Amino acid sequence: MEQDMLDKTIGRYEIKEMIGEGAMAKVYRAYDPEIDRSVAFKILKEDHCVDEEYLSRFLREAKAAGALSHSGIVTVFDVGKLENAPYIMMELLAGCDLGEVLKDKKKLPLKQTLIIALQLAKSLDYAHKSGIVHRDIKPDNIIVMPDGESIKVADFGIARMNENKESQKTQVGAVLGTPRYMSPEQALGESVDGRSDLFSVGTIMYEMLSGNKAFDASNMATLMIQIAQKQPESLKTVCPDIPAGVRQIIQKLLQKSPDKRFQTGNKLAEALGKELSTLNDQQIEQKKHKYIPLKIRWTLSVVAIVGLVSFISIKIIFNIQSAAMTKQAVDSGSSFAKFISTNTAIPMLSEDWISLETFIGDAASRDTFSYLIVTDRAGVVRGASDNSLVGNMYEPNENAELISKTEDVYTTSAETTDGKKMFNIKTPILFQSTEVGHIILGLSQDGLDEVKSITGWLMFFLALITTSSVAVVMFIFGGLIARPLNVLNQSLKEFSAGNLDTRISLTRNDEIGEVFNGFNNMAAAIQDRYTEVTDELTQTGIDKTEIVKEKQDDLATQAEQPSFKEVTDQETESKLPSQVEHNINDESDSKTNSQIGLEIEPSKMNQDIDAEQPEGSISALVSHSEPELDLNPDETIISTSQINVDKKSNLIADNKDTYGSADTSAKTDNPLEISEDTKADTSAKTPSVKRKLRKKPVKAKEESDITDKVSDEENGGTNTKTDEGIKN
C-alpha cells in the first residue's frame, strides 16, 4: 500500500513520502497546493481496519483532536476515508518528540523543563476544559519544536471525551495508555479525569530533571505496584540542586490520590509560572552576584562606599581650594599691577620714556613677575621687560581664558610660546581719573600648580589611608560575624545528618548568642521527642535490630528456596504478613456467580518488559488458552481485550518476590480463561477464591495488602466452589 500511496492525490492533497509508522497507522507528508502548505497524512493500517478497537481509537483521535484548537495541541485539518481506511490530515511539525530528546540528553536543564511543563499544563488545561482527557501523556506524544522549548501535544488516540454515561461505563476496567506513565487510578482500570493526565506530567517532569524513570520496574507486575503504592526516589537525593518549590510541585503531581494533586492544569501552570519567574530572577541575580564570602562582600561594599564618598569629597574640596588659591594669586598680581600703574602715571603723562624704562628695569630685577608691558592710550608699547617689544603695537593672546574681570582689572590665563601658563593681568594707568595708558603684567602659574598638585596628592593619600583602614576593620569584623555563622551552619548539618546530640557550646551575650540558645533548645526538644517515641516503640516490642535481623534471615532463606514452593493455606497465612485476594466475577445470562482463580506464570511475571517487543504487541501476565501477548509498559495499551482488569482489582507482584499460584476449574467467557479443576457445589455458598502471592517475611506494616472482593449474589446466590491448588 505504501507504493500505492506515493504521488497519490486525495482531495486536494498530494501524497509525497512516508515519514513515519506506528503500531496502528502510517504517516505521510502531503502537500496542499491551494494554500502552499505541507501537512501530515495519517491513515489506519489495513490489518487494523477490521479491528473495531483500533478503528474506534483512530476515529476517536480524529474526533478528540479535531475538537481542539490550541497553540500547544497538534491541529487536525481534515478527516475522511480512503478505500474504507480512515485517515486524518493534520499539522506537519518540525522537530522531534520529547522521548528522542531525553534519549540524547538523558535529562534537561531546569529552565527548559519548566518551560516545557508550563506549556504542557496549559495545553492539557484547555483540553480538560473542552471535556477531553488525553490518557496517554508520555514523552513520545510531546513534540518539541526546533527551538527546544516550544511543544505540541499529539496522539489523542485513546482520549476520552465527556459523552453520555453509557459510553463512560464501558471504559471502567479498561487499562488503556502507556503503563510507565499511567496514574494509579488508570493503571487499576478505574475511571479517570484530567488529574490523571497531571500525574503523567509529574512522571515526565521527574524524568526530565533526574534522567531516570519515575517508576523503573523491569516487569509489568512490579511496575503496577510501584505506581499504585510507592513513591519514586526523592529528587532531593537524585538532584539536590533542584529548587524545593519544583520538588514540591512534582511531589504533589505524583500523589496517589487524585484529590491531593493539582486539581486543574491551570493551577499547575500558575505554580510552574511562579517557579519559572523565580528562576529567571535568580539567574539574573547570579550573573550580578556570584557567591562571595560574607567578610569579603562586606569589605568590598564598604570600601566601595567609602572610596566613592572620599573621591567626591576630595574633588569638591580640591576645586574649592584651587579656586581660593587662584583668587589669592590673581589678587596679589592685581595689587602689584595697580602699584606699577600708580608709579608710571607721571612718566606716561610727561612722555618721559627714560624714567619709565629705568623704573621697569628696576622692577624686573626683583623677579616678582614674568613680564611687564606699558602701553599708551593708542596701544603702542612704551616700556617693557623685553626691550624688543618697545615701539610696537601690543597684540593680546586671542586664546586666553578669562579668569576674572572688575572695573579696573582684567585677568586672563594663557600659555606662552614656550608652553608656560601665565596669568595676564591688565589694568589702566590713571592720572586724576584720566586714562593715559595700560599696564600688562604676567605672573607664572607654575608655583600655584605645584601647590595644587601637592594638596591633591595629600588628599588622595589621606582618603587611601582612611579607606584601607575601613577595609581592614570590615574584613576583621566580617570574619568575627562569619565565624559563629559557620559554627551554626556546621551544627545544623550535623543535626540534619542524624546526630541529635549536637549542641553549640559557644556562649555570647548578644543576638548571635540568642540564636545559639535557640538552636540548642530546638535540638533538645527534638531529641526528647525522639527518645519518647523510641521508648514507646520499645515498650510495644518493636526493636529495630530485630527487624534488621529478620530481613537478613529472609534474604538467606530466599537464596536457599526455589522460586515457587508448595505450601498449604494454613502455612501460607502463618508465614506471610499479608495476602492478596483477587476475585474475578463473570456475569452470565443465568445470573450465577463464577469465581475464578488466576494461575500466575512465573516466566511472565518477571519478564523483561523493557526489552524490544514486536510492534504493537502486548504481553499477558496470566496464562490462558488464548495466544500469549507481550505487555510493555513503555508502549500504549490500545485494546481493552488485551488486558481485562476489574476496576476494583489490584495486580500485586514484586520482581524480587516469589509467587504462589491457584488452581481453579471454573469455566468463564473471559478471554483470559484458565484451565483448572472445578468442584461444583450448589448446595451452599463458598468463600471467594484467593490468589496468594508468597512475599518476603518482613514486618506486616511494611507490606501492602490489597484485597479485592467482588461478588454477585443473585437469585439466592448460587455459586461455584473452587479449590485452591498450590503449584511449584
CA dist list (Å): 47 to 40, 86, 129: 21, 12, 35
> Cα–Cα distance between 106 and 129 in angstroms, integer?
33
Contact 708, 649 (CB under 8 A): yes
User: Which residues have CB under 8 Å from 568's CB, separation 6+?
Assistant: 726
Contact 45, 28 (CB under 8 A): no
Q: Does residue 150 sit in helix, strand or coil?
A: coil
Cell of 663: 488452581
> Cα–Cα distance between 447 and 577 in angstroms, integer?
104
* Of the candidates 516, 490, 494, 496, the residue with the CA atom closest to the CA atom of residue 504: 516
Contact 214, 206 (CB under 8 A): yes
> Cα–Cα distance between 22 and 409 in angstroms, integer?
101
Q: Which of 97, 136, 630, 663 is catalytic?
A: 136
Q: What are phi and psi of 676, to 5 degrees?
A: -145, 170
Q: Which amino acid is at 681?
A: D
Cell of 185: 487510578
Is 136 part of the annotated catalytic residue set?
Answer: yes
78 strand-pairing partners:
89
> Cα–Cα distance between 442 and 428 in angstroms, integer?
15
What torsion do the CA atoms of 201, 206, 211, 214 make, to the nearest 10 degrees? -90
Fill in the DSSP letter of residue 129: H
Contact 321, 457 (CB under 8 A): no
Secondary structure of 393-405 in HEC code, one letter for each residue: ECCCCCCCEEEEE
User: Could you identify the residue written with the cell 523503573?
Assistant: 216
For the chain, report the end-to-end CA distance as a whole number of angstroms.
Answer: 49
Cell of 114: 519548566
Cell of 307: 572610596
Q: Does residue 590 sit in helix, strand or coil?
A: coil
> Cα–Cα distance between 476 and 474 in angstroms, integer?
5
* Of the candidates 51, 9, 55, the residue with the CA atom closest to the CA atom of residue 28: 9
* Of the candidates 597, 605, 575, 602, the residue with the CA atom closest to the CA atom of residue 690: 597
| C-alpha R_g of the chain | 48
- Beta strands in 33-150, from DSSP E residues, in sequence order: 37-44, 76-82, 85-91, 96-97, 132-133, 142-144
> Cα–Cα distance between 466 and 88 in angstroms, integer?
80
> Cα–Cα distance between 305 and 284 in angstroms, integer?
23
Contact 6, 16 (CB under 8 A): yes
**Pairing assessment for the beta strands 421-431 and 434-444 based on DSSP bridges:** antiparallel
> Cα–Cα distance between 599 and 597 in angstroms, integer?
7
| Structural element, H or E, at residue 245 | helix 244-253
Contact 96, 105 (CB under 8 A): no
Q: What are phi and psi of 79, to 5 degrees?
A: -135, 155
Helix, strand, coil % over all residues of the chain, rounded to 5: 45, 15, 40
Active site residues: 136
